[in-house]
Every structure is written in structure tokens, then in C-alpha cells.
Amino acid sequence: MSKLNTRSRIAACAALIFGSLGANSALADEVVNIYSYRQPDIIKPVLDAFTAETGIKTEVLFLDKGLEDRILAEGQNSPADVILTVDIARLTTAKDKGVTQAFDDPTVNANLPAEYRDPEGHWYGVTKRGRVVYASKDRVKQTSITYEELADPKWKGKICTRSGQHDYNLGLFAAAIAHWGPEKTEQWMKGLKANLARKPDGGDRPQAKAIYAGECDIALGNTYYVGLMRTNEKDPEEKEWGNAINVLFPTFENGGTHVNISGAAMAKYAPHRDNALKLIQFLTSHKAQQTYAEQTFEYPVEPGLEPSEVVKAFGSLTSDTLPLAEIAKNRKAASEMVDRVGLDDGPSS
């Protein structure tokens, strides 16, 4: 089968999927199709608020990998209007692979500081999150920590984390390379590997579960998961995991904690371009920023808007001042380093 025919079939399938999902829409134009690396349950509150305000329905296709390649395969027939991603590296990857289109909108520009906007208009940051340390309330008494300290032998057998190849960890490792250079970072990563309690596995929430179960004392995790766990009335067990940990804000030598963003981009061939723009305008608006803060426990990108009371209780976040675009440049080197060190093999190899 030719590559062209394969791409046509993929695009046709995608169009059929979204056509079926949007069959109940009064008008085809009253929808915006979203390809998302962000989990649907996390973004649902803000998408529901968008629909309530605009009447535009949102249809979400969640992918945990291959989003950019799928849009490339679909070509001009892609139903994707908006791309939502989980970190700066994936935003820049989407741009580099040519699946986004630039736009210059005064409303979005006014809503976002320049550091959270692609200078060429291909992507826009909509939330912030810190890559922090979850620490056992029972077994860890210190209240501050540095990233460098994670390689200290005093933590041998006491650290848990998800895969080193996950975007959240790659973002942190890329930031370390930018701060320390590749040689120091690789030595540090070897120390981190030696301190692992087990082979990296699961997501961020399972790391809190492992601390609760006594499998490790500290773990790497994103800030917003702690808020989601502590307020989870539907799952009392998960609530216990969140309440069993403190949040420590690790720092680099400049006193800043690694902060990444989630973001949005307009798909290159967005069939509902006007609605796509309305969604991105909304995601950067004061109302959406409040929704993100209060319901998903992320840090707003809107200047001066405070996080939720739940997040404030974690302590004070001082963001690393290193430009996110500079961090993203080191992502490939970070990924290669994870493999070279064998971080995902666990502590015994």
C-alpha cells in the first residue's frame, strides 16, 4: 500500500471518529477538535467552562505518544484544530515537525507574558507546574532540598520516580544540563540511579503511594498531582497518599525550582480555525486561569493571579529563571543520557 493511500485512510478514520463524536452538535461549526497529550480528566473542568461560555463543544482525542506523527499522516484532511501538550519540549517538537500554524492575536498576547509565548506565534503556555520532591511526613524531617542533593548517598535506596524517559523528568534533566553541563549532570544522574529504591515505574501519583507504603522516603513529582490527590473525595485511598507527603521545592544554585508548562497550539490545517482561536483565547483568559488554579491545582501563567489555597499550603515556589526554550534544546541530550546511564534499569544494574 502506498504511503499516500495510508495517510488518506488514517485521515478518513480520524474524520469518521470526530464526525461520530460530534454527531449531536447542532452545527458542525459549533465544535473544536482537540488532540491532547494532557489527560482528559485533568483538562475537563476548563473545557466544560469554555463550552458553557461559548456554546462550542469540545471533542478530545487523547494520545500518550505519536500525536505529531498522526497529524502528519492525516495531512490536510486532519480534523485537529488545537493541540494540547504537557511540556515545553512537546510544544517545540510540534512546531519543529510542522504540525502547527502561527498566529498573532492581541487578546492572547495581552493575556500572556512574553516568556510563555513562542516568539513566532506557534505555541502558548497556559499553566505552570513545579517538578518537586514528595517527602514522607513520617520519615523525612528536613524541609528544604536541592536537586544536587538527590545524588547524595544518604538517600541510597530511598528515592522513587517514574521513567526517566517521561517528559516531566526529561524536562528536569534538560534543565540540569543547562545549569551544570553534560558531564556534571551525568555524574549526578548516576548518583540518582544508585539512590533509587526500585526500578522507575508508574506515574507521579503512584510515587506518593509508594511513599505511603514505606517503599521509599522521597520521590520526584509534579505539584498539581498533590492537590488532585488531597482533594479526591471519590478515592479515599488516593487521598491518604496525598496527605502522607510534604512538598519540598528543590532548587538549583540560582535558588529556583524547575518549572515546566502545559501549552496549546493551533493545528496547521485546523478546519475550525475561528473556534480554535476562541479556545486558545479562553485558555489564557482570567476565567480559565482561575479554573486551572482552583480545579486542577496548577500555577496560573496570568501575572499576579495566585494559586489555590491547596497549592499555597505546599509552600512558596520560586521559579527557575532559565528560559524554557533553552531547556527544551537539551531534551535529546537528556534522553540519550538516561539510556546511557541506564536510569530506567533501576539501582542494581
- Tell me: pLDDT of 19 over 80: no
- Do 7 and 80 fall within a single domain? yes
Residue 299 and residue 319 share a domain: no
- The CATH number assigned to the domain holding 37 equals 3.40.190.10
Select from 237, 249, 248 the least CA-distant residue to 212. 237
Say what the pTM is.
Answer: 0.86
Residues 151 and 293 both lie in one domain: no
Tell the burial category of 348 from Cβ atoms under 10 Å away from its Cβ (0-12, 13-18, 19+): exposed
224 marked ligand binding residue: yes
Q: 158 is in which domain, residue-wise?
A: 129-258+312-345
39 & 187 share domain: no
CB atoms within 10 A of CB 323: 12
User: Cα 17 to chain center, whole Å?
Assistant: 26
240 in the same domain as 334: yes
- Residue 149 DSSP one-character state: G
Task: Indicate if 58 and 147 belong to the same structural domain.
Answer: no
Burial letters for 10-38: b for 16+ Cβ neighbours within 10 Å, e otherwise? bbeebbeebeebbeeeeeeeebbbbbbbb
| Chain position carrying cell 494532557 | 38
How many C-beta atoms lie closer than 10 Å to residue 86's C-beta? 24
Q: Mind listing the pLDDT tens digit for each residue in 276-327? A: 999 999 999 999 999 999 999 999 999 999 999 999 999 999 999 998 888 9
Same domain, 189 and 323: yes
Residue 8 has pLDDT above 90, yes or no: no
Residues 61 and 149 in one domain: no
Q: Report whether 225 belongs to an annotated binding site.
A: yes
Render pLDDT for 146-186 as a digit per residue (tens, 0 to 9): 999 999 999 999 999 999 999 999 999 999 999 999 999 99
Verify that 58 and 71 share a domain, yes or no: yes
What is the predicted pLDDT for the residue at 11? 44
Model confidence band, residue 23 (pLDDT cutoffs 50, 70, 90):
very low
Task: Let me know whether 207 and 330 are in one domain.
Answer: yes
* Cα gap 324→87, rounded to integer Å: 9
Residue 95 sits in the same domain as residue 133? no
Total of domains in the chain: 2
Q: What confidence tier does 7 reach under pLDDT thresholds 50, 70, 90? A: very low
Identify the pLDDT of residue 18.
52
Do residues 277 and 227 share a domain? no
Q: Is residue 260 scored above 90 in pLDDT?
A: yes
Whole-angstrom Cα distance, residue 251 to residue 248?
A: 9
